[in-house]
Structure 1
Amino acid sequence: MIYCYVDEITPDVIRGWAFNPNAADVPVTLHVVFDEQELLRIQCDAIREDVLEAGVPSSQVGFQFAPPASVLDNKTRKLTFKSRLDDVVLVYNNQEVPSIDFTETLPEQIFSYVDGNKAGALTGWVVSGNRITGMKGGRDLLVTCGGEKIGHIQADRYRGDVGKVLSCDPYCGFQFVPPPLFRKSYPQEFHFYVLPEMKELDNSPYFTSFVSDKYEGVVLDVVDQIDALHTQLTQLRRQVRDILPQPGYTLADYHKWATDYFPILRRYVDRTRVADTEEPLVSVICPVWRPDLSDFRAAVESVINQTWQNWELIIVDDCSEDEELRDLILEFVDLDPRIQAIFKETNDGISGTTNVGIENANGEWIAFFDHDDLLVDVAIEYMLREAKRSQADLLYSDEDKIDRSGYYSNPAFKTDWNYRLLLGVNYVCHFVMAKTALVKKVGGLNKKYDGAQDHDFLLRVSENLSARKIHHVPEILYHWRITAKSTAADIGNKSYAVDAGVQAVSDHLARRKLPAKVTSQLNNTLYSVEWTFKEEPTVTIIVPYKDEIPTTKRCLDAIIKLTAYKHYDVILIDNWSVTKEAKAFAKYVEKIPNAQILTLKEKFNYSRLNNKAAALSDSDFVVFLNNDVFVEQENWLNILVNEALADQEAAIVGGKFVYPNQTVQHAGVLLGIGDVAGHAHVGIPRDEGGYAGRAYFPQEMSAVTAAGMLVRKPAFDMVGGFDEENLTVAFNDIDLCLKIRDAGFKVIWTPDFCAEHHESLSRGSDDRPTTERRFFHETQYMLERWGDRLQRDPFYNPHFALDRQVFFDLLPPEVNLDRYPPLPKDQNVTPHLWEKSAEQTASKSSTTSKSAQKPAAKPTRRRKKASA
């Protein structure tokens, strides 16, 4: 006889225990029967200590199982348990029963989360359903703020991360940009509810503030204050509201921007088309392997529909062994004589297949095209126009992503050619066109790097082509198809691409004889390059201060105690400090062998202070460091110097700085933001990548802040240092960077050096009345000196707005060559000015270093004596 006790019955679980008194130590097997039909067989061997304590001889008697989906229909069924060997006594609710009435249905569950404020938009996800229907997205949501309904949205955006983790519908995400009146600079409470249940999402309410730009945030606060002054300030209120930026396009509503943009792009091309005797043939290479047939048909049709007529499409099937696909390809071959097909008899991978297409190309140009993506109809024509204008041999355009419903998302508004960024990520991607001669010169694609073959190709191109011959076309000309198997949806589907990318970058650097260790970031096709140079050129670190001794001492102590780099010295600039603490600090510095104080009793002029200190240094490099920047890494100076050693054209290297709350204060400088320039990625968490992940990677930029900037001393001297006449406080670092770039050198920003910065702790804000006039004149000087250069940053896409939130707000759709960055010019770069023999460097280092056993005994350097 077997006794079966049922403890719990729910739609999700039936739980209980069973045993045979005559063989208590042997777990029993039961057959679960609904309406005389056996649906399950269960083993009763789960540990039940409570049963053992109640006197049953064994604890290995428990069972639990999920009711089959077929019985969860709210109909009453008879549940019994049987055994093939013994009778079963069924006990439920402490009573022996012949069967149990089972009437259950599986309720709908809702899982959700409000992720937070991402670049000005509130994001999250919602799925609902159960284990039978599956978890689906597309739910309607209500958004409220301060008890007021401010939005009604649908959670139907693609969230591959959620779909992967929960094994659910990936189209479950939402992105909500509050109306302007609710984008306050102070925290507000946003509630998100699933309709019609009015179930509040997890992590809702969400508290956040919005600082879209320094004008909008300030003006909105002013409007709130003015409202309290009532009628006497009505006119002032109207004037303030008039200068508020009008709501426009953002990345959050990119689909709307795109649907407005493409007709404008087509009309522009039609309007500006001119007759040309040159009509180069473009060979579009399309490797194919088992695509979705509808996607493939759309891809080929996007080539057929090109406004440029002189093309050939070479379709190379990599032994797909798919008769439907073969028939479709041959259908296209019969339809258009410009289409040729090659059917390989063995599978060779994407590189080998692409190379077959390259070998059969007849065109002057080669265009690379994936078998399920789409070309904008003017893509080839526009690329050829830009090729003629720029005289480039390789061009790449901006791109976006498109799903099966035709929804545009994730635009890649790219930077102009940026070799240092390319080492970290293949930001170029699509749409690439290159001279056929160039493609064949570099050897086409390399099968060794399948999965990252295009990244490897671009790196090899960079070894054979000057930067001036590589041109970025800042228009969306390519749609990358989002499919379940595409890297456009989730790189996790192609983990082999990560390993291939690491190898491609490593091999490229080896060919260039640059010592480095390459690793993957975030287990993705994002790469970190750690330079491993052994040489240590000499460096002088310059730190100006006025009183604020605790801050300055903290800055100095961090340098002395942490810095692993050997060959450096420190010049502290005392700009007329008057406190007793300052005198004590001077005596403290005297005990540090590789530090000295330069005392300057004159009006504060940041440019002049740093120029005077730099004149005392005979080092290879100088580092300009604010006294409110506190280094955290032992290798911080190695990181900066090694970036310069990796590229002889790199004359300035800047770092990443964060506020005390660990949000980003500086991740490079973008020209034109706030009229002159502004910092990139301000306010994002320290460890986040920002737009397109750019905050993750070292890259070339137009400028960096002098709060922590390494500069080659010969280049600094060559351009005359900081402008101490016109830019005494503000923008002198931007001006220096632009002068350095005009001289043909590069400015590099790296997040690998990261430090905490208490911005303007000692000098204060430019918003004070006593400094407003000076700041106004410095702003005007920059606008007059650099003019349009400030509106055309080559490393900030021209479709982004300059007067609102960076990397988020978009300008109205337009094709305007006046917004394009100027074409690069050939420069007479003279890196030989700072190239010294190994013997010179070794000699200089050996005569200037001392023991470094303790912080106070850091290696010292000879330097010119500072005087009062």
Structure 2
Amino acid sequence: MGQIKRVLSFSKRMMRCLGKEGWHVFCYKLNHRLHKKNEYDMWMLQNEQQYKEPEQELEYKPLISVVVPVYNVEPQMLTACIQSVQNQTYDNWELCLVDDCSTDARVRETLRQFEGVERIKIKYRSENGHISRTTNDGIAMAEGEFVALLDCDDLYAENALYEIAKKLNEDHTLDFIYSDEDKLSEDGTKRRNPFFKPDWSPDTFMSLMYTCHLAVYRKSLLDEMGGLRVGLEGSQDYDLVLRVMEKTNRIGHVPKILYHWREREESTANDISAKPYIIETTKKAKLEALERRGVKGHLEYIKDIVMFRVVYEVVGNPRVSIIIPSKDNYDILKQCLTSIRKETKYQNYEIIVVDNGSAEETHAKYTQMCKELECKYHYAPMEFNFSKMCNIGAHLADGQFLLFLNDDIRVEGAEWLERMLGHAQQPHTGAVGCKLIYPNTNLIQHVGVVSFMVGPGHAFQRINDDLNCYWGRNKLEYNYSAVTGACLMIDRNKYDQVGGFSEQLPVAYNDIDLCFNLVEAGYYNVVRTDVRLYHYESVSRGYDAVSPEKAARQQREMKKLYDRHPEFKGYDPCYNPNLIGNSDNFSLRLLKVKEIETPEETQQVLVEKGSLQYKVEEFTDEAVVKISGWALNRKTLRAGTLNIVLTGQDKQQYIVKSERLYRPDVRDAFGKRRLAFAGFEAAFIKQNLPKQHYEVSLVLDGDARMVGSIVVA
């Protein structure tokens, strides 16, 4: 029945796509859906060789004890599991196998084959004690400085323990390390469904057990905590990490697939409903964590994804100052203010409208409206500077918490303010954002910001909120490096600590800068996806893609942003380097490498005709050169086939054909359906060119622009 519902839902979405976006987009999305299952195979071919780079001699080589609780597992699966440890490229390990009094005689027969084998210890329990007691027996046997956990039917990648040791060489103080993982078919022949995880993200972890496998712990910490708790079977590892995070923040992440989780019919790797009791033990682990920490909160069950959301309850009655910058936008501002007054259940708040110079008539209307709706109104004509307007509002505010809100937001839901406030009260929290939806749709405008290789971008923008976006990122509370200033709440003390909004960034990226400052100060920014507001984006601001002047200003401010925060350029701790670096849909980083073509005759001199409008968003000059962005003919407003032309010092030219990419943002910015594929991407192997210096140009409809250069040495 569930399969039929999914098929019907998919069919409805595709038919809506056909009606709204046309035949070409329909075919593109259908083709993408049909071939998506093969993407991971392509990723493995492209990445896993460089993934398993030649191993370097490590200065620090701690003994790692691999603990495997064993119970009624198929002999070939158990043998494969043990051999995956024996085949490790890292040599300072021991294997502690504990049989939990299996009733299947084949288990003991299999284990006996490994009795007396060097570095392998085996214990046979005399009674069944379930997984927590059995794992604790293995931990007690362990002599290593670190303990790595492994299920008896799963596999380690051959470089798993080396990568853990390598991470420890980078930082000897780490107490807990986890890796990325994928799923393994029951027969062990097929890998699928990779989970590329963020670096340590405490709010993400309170939403779901994302660290999972591979998990490696400092043994002294496990001994101090008494190992796994009995009574939490099914969620024993989740409970363990919940307790670990209360003892240490020395947590590391290896962004590589080091663990293959076997999908047996009765395994939660295949479906959590295979073990319904896990739902209850997960609930218990979360509630007890809140109680241990003295945190006031409750859980909400999200049936569709079988997860529990943590809702932090407001402590006391702190005042919230809602600060709204606005100018000459009366109808939109009125909608915003009236929705706040109508919807908001939490009452201890004030509204401050900061106007940087509305026309006289609008100024008068703002004055009257703010009087009627009991808002503070600050009027001071000046050049637009969003940061300065926010800082002025903060200076006028009486609240212990500040909520910066765009005037084109319409509030919905009685508890929106208190849910954000409860989370903002947590000591570890930096900025709290929410989920923003485009009006009259169910399409996501904002559910967090990622620092992509091409710059900051909104996650899952223009994706239907009914979908489950990459492990529930639009359904659960996740940490992000940044949230949008369109709706951002922060503790006043933390705002002051990081210096508020930078007035050196007057238009773009000021909110990202604030959030990066918070991360650098040790806080975690988070999106409350249960707060769902409507954002009338582009009503008060146009698309930057339309205007070359706006695009140039955006690039200048982006440079300022990364000059201030160089560690975030091309890196985001809440993302993963194995995911695509210039897109919002968290797809795998795949390169479609093109052949370099040599024309029969040397091409004519490239000419600028003034019809090409473009933006290069990524230009990676490495072994594989990658260039991507968008381009169109500004005179015909069409996106034709764009070529990359490489002109050598010897005047010989080479051509690389680009791949056309779906860019709904460019289409919407120009209001032309035919620009849906104005995006482009070209990738080629640099060493296939003769050694010399090359100028790199974009050519569309005979119009050329030089965009950079490369050197083949």
- TM-score of the superposed pair, with normalisation by structure 1: 0.64
Which of the two has higher C-alpha Rg?
1
Among 462, 477, 485, the alignment partner of 1:706 is: 485
Q: How far is the alpha carbon of 1:524 from its aligned partner?
A: 5.4
Q: Does 1:188 align with 2:82?
A: no
Task: Tell me the C-alpha RMSD between the 2 structures.
Answer: 2.9
How far did 1:719 drift? 2.7
1:765 aligns with 2:659: no
**Inter-CA distance 356–809: structure 2 relative to 1 (3 Å threshold):** closer
Tell me which residue corresponds to 2:89.
307
Q: How many residues align?
A: 583
User: Within 5 Å, which residues of 2 pair with 1:167-186?
Assistant: 186=21
The aligned counterpart of 1:176 is: none
Q: Which blocks of at least 5 consecutive residues in structure 2 are unaligned? A: 593-621, 623-713
What residue in structure 1 maps to residue 582 of structure 2? Answer: 803
8 Å Cα contact 2:391/2:500 also seen in 1: yes
**Other-structure match for 2:70:** 288
Aligned to 1:528, what secondary structure does the other structure show?
A: strand
Cα 1:802–1:489 shift into 2, 3 Å: same
CA spacing shift, 1:797–1:696, aligned 2, 3 Å: same
SS in 2 for 1:370: coil
**2:417 is matched with which residue: 637, 646, 650?**
637
**1:732 partnered with 2:518:** no
How far did residue 532 of structure 1 move? 2.4
Distance in 2 between residues matched to 1:111 and 1:651, nearest whole Å: 40
1:591 alignment partner in structure 2 = 372
What amino acid does structure 2 have at the position aligned with 1:456? D
**Counterpart secondary structure, 1:651:** strand
Question: Is the Cα–Cα contact under 8 Å of residues 251 and 810 in structure 1 kept in the other structure?
Answer: no
433-442 vs 495-504, which moves further: 433-442
Which amino acid counterpart does residue 256 of structure 1 have in structure 2? M
Letter matched to residue 378 of structure 1: N
1:536 to 317, 322, 338: 317
Question: CA 1:683/1:773 → structure 2, altered by over 3 Å: closer, same or farther?
Answer: closer
Q: Which 5+ residue runs of structure 1 have no aligned equivalent?
A: 1-109, 124-144, 147-183, 191-205, 213-248, 819-868
* Alpha-carbon distance in structure 1 between the residues aligned to 2:61 and 2:550: 59
Q: Percent identity?
A: 33
2:40 pairs with one of 248, 251, 254: 254
The alignment status of 1:628 with 2:463, answered yes or no, reads: no
User: How far does the alpha carbon of each residue in 1:376-423 deviate from its partner, in whole angstroms, 9 at most, with x for none?
Assistant: 111111111101212211100111111125211111100001111111
Offset at residue 211 of structure 1 (A): 14
| CA distance, structure 1, for counterparts of residue 61 and residue 430 of structure 2 | 42
Cα deviation 1:240-279 (Å, max 9, x = unaligned): xxxxxxxxx977510232244333333x1xx342154x54
- Do the aligned partners of residues 551 and 290 (structure 1) sit closer, same or farther apart at CA in structure 2, a change above 3 Å counting? same
> What is the Cα deviation at residue 536 of structure 1?
2.0
For the residue of structure 2 that corresponds to 1:542, the secondary structure is strand
Of 512, 526, 541, the match for 2:307? 526
Number of the residue aligned with 1:225: none
Structure 1 residues 773 and 313, CA gap change in structure 2 (3 angstroms)? closer
Aligned counterparts of 1:689 and 1:737: Cα–Cα separation in 2: 26
* Structure 1, 524-533 or 500-509: larger mean CA deviation: 524-533
Q: Provide closer, same or farther for how the CA distance between residues 187 and 719 of structure 1 changes in structure 2, counting only shifts above 3 A.
A: same
Cα distance in 2 for partners of 1:293, 1:122 equals 45
Alignment of 1:435-446 (within 5 A): 435-446=218-229
Residue 528 of structure 2: aligned partner: 750
- 1:793 aligned onto 2:601: no
Q: What does the per-residue CA deviation read over 1:25-47, in whole Å, with 9 as the maximum and x for residues that have no partner?
A: xxxxxxxxxxxxxxxxxxxxxxx
Q: Is the 8 A contact 2:188 2:262 kept in 1?
A: no
Q: Residue 108 of structure 2 is aligned with which of 322, 326, 330?
A: 326
**Residue type matched to 1:748 in 2?**
V
Q: How does 1:44-59 map to 2 (within 5 A)?
A: none
Give matches, 1:466-477, under 5 Å.
467=249, 469-477=250-258
Q: 2:182 — aligned with what?
A: 400
Q: Could you list the per-position Cα deviations for residues 208-242 of structure 1 after superposition, in whole angstroms to 9, with x for gaps in the alignment?
A: 76999xxxxxxxxxxxxxxxxxxxxxxxxxxxxxx
Cα distance change of structure 1 residues 525 and 428 upon mapping to structure 2, 3 Å threshold: farther
From 202, 213, 217, the equivalent of 1:419 is 202
* Greater displacement, 319-328 / 249-258: 249-258
1:667 paired residue number = 447
Q: Secondary structure at the match of 1:116?
A: helix
Structure 1 segment 532-681 matched on structure 2, within 5 A: 532-578=313-359, 580=361, 583-593=364-374, 595-645=375-425, 647-660=426-439, 661-672=441-452, 675-681=454-460
> CA shift at 1:281, angstroms?
2.0
Contact kept in structure 1, 2:435 and 2:447, CA below 8 Å: yes
Change (3 A) 1:648 1:306: same
Looking at structure 2, the residues matched to 585 and 598 of structure 1 have their Cα atoms a distance apart, in angstroms, of 10
User: Which residue of 2 is the match for residue 778 of structure 1?
Assistant: 557
TM-superposed CA distance for 1:581, in Å, is: 5.6
Q: Counterparts of 2:48 and 2:224 in 1: how far apart (Å)?
A: 35
Question: How far does residue 122 in structure 1 lie from its aligned partner after superposition?
Answer: 8.7
Contact 2:457 2:584 in 1 (8 A): no
Contact 1:450/1:500 (CA < 8 Å) preserved in 2? Answer: yes
For residues 371 and 712 of structure 1, what CA distance do their matches in structure 2 show? Answer: 47
Please tell me the residue identity of whatever aligns with 1:414: K
- State the distance in 2 between where 1:756 and 1:728 align: 24
Q: Is 1:512 aligned with 2:293?
A: yes
Q: Deviations over 1:652-708 (max 9, x none)?
A: 1111111121111111110125x2200112122224331122222223221100000
| Pick aligned residue for 1:689 from 454, 458, 468 | 468
Distance 1:309 1:746 in 2: 37
SS in 2 for 1:497: helix
Superposed, which structure 2 residues align to 1:128-139 within 5 Å? none
1:385 aligns with 2:166: yes
Given that 1:186 and 1:208 are in contact with CA atoms closer than 8 Å, whether structure 2 keeps it comes out as no
Q: Secondary structure at the match of 1:693?
A: coil
Determine helix, strand or coil for the equivalent of 2:217: strand
Q: How many angstroms apart in 1 are the aligned matches of 2:497 and 2:315?
A: 27
Distance 1:705 1:288 in 2: 48
Match of 2:500 in 1: 721
- Shift of residue 787, structure 1, vs aligned partner: 2.7
Query: In the superposition, relative to structure 1, how do residues 364 and 801 fare at CA in structure 2: closer, same or farther (>3 Å)?
Result: same
Kindly provide the CA deviation profile for residues 709-756 of structure 1, in whole angstroms up to 9, marking residues without a partner as x: 0122222233332222x3111111001111222233332222121101
**Cα distance in structure 2, aligned partners of 1:114 and 1:568:** 45
Matches within 5 A, 1:108-147: 113=7, 116=10
Distance 1:410 1:641 in 2: 36
Contact 1:654 1:709 in 2 (8 A): yes
Matches within 5 A, 1:22-421: 113=7, 116=10, 186-188=21-23, 252-266=38-52, 268=53, 271-274=54-57, 276=59, 278-334=60-116, 336-391=117-172, 392-403=174-185, 404-421=187-204
Paired residues of 2:481 and 2:515 also in contact (CA < 8 A): yes
Given residue 69 of structure 2, which amino acid in structure 1 is its aligned partner? P
Matched, 1:432 2:211: no
Deviations 1:609-647 (A, max 9, x none): 1111211113211111011111101111111111021x2
Secondary structure of 1:656's aligned partner: strand
1:175-207 superposed Cα distances (whole Å, 9 cap, x missing partner): xxxxxxxxx9943268xxxxxxxxxxxxxxx67
- The code of the aligned residue for 1:744 comes to G
C-alpha change, 1:250 and 1:669, in structure 2 (3 Å) is farther
Instruction: Pick which of 475-484 and 707-716 moved more.
Output: 707-716
Mapped contact 2:89–2:159 kept (Cα < 8 A): yes
